[in-house]
Amino acid sequence: MHLTPCPFLSPTPDSNIPTPMGFKVTEVQPTPNPNAVKFLLDRPISDNPISFLNPSEGQRHPLASKLFALNGVTSLLLLGDFITVNKSGNVNWSGLTKKVEEILESFQE
């Protein structure tokens, strides 16, 4: 059996069977809004804009639901190779940024 490489898959350590891999965050950019940060990814996440203006809108989306589970995340925009995360004003980016990156990197499509 010959496996064709796929950009969303990587071989497991124990075999040549591909498994889904998460998104690598290549850069975290501030925005004019101090409560919004743009996470640039290593590949596209969505060809068309997908907005989740509150947690209830994202509850059926596998990635959005994980991000909304983080304390303080208020809305999301997925487009191309980035995700913009908005947070409530009483939450600091210092801890939240790392948690968002961890979710993106471990996300199984």
pLDDT at position 41 over 50: yes
Whether the pLDDT of residue 36 is over 80: the answer is yes
Rg (CA), the chain: 15
Q: Which two tokens stand for residue 2?
A: 């010959």
DSSP letter (8 states) at residue 53: S
Q: In what order do the strands lie in the sheet with 73-80?
A: 25-30, 36-41, 82-87, 73-80, 46-52
For residue 13, the Cα-to-chain-centroid distance in whole angstroms is 24
Higher confidence at residue 102 or residue 5? Answer: 102
Is residue 10's pLDDT more than 80?
A: no
Give this prediction's pTM: 0.80
CA-closest candidate to residue 109, choices 41, 45, 38, 42: 45
Q: List the domains of the chain with CATH numbers.
A: 23-106 (3.30.1370.70)
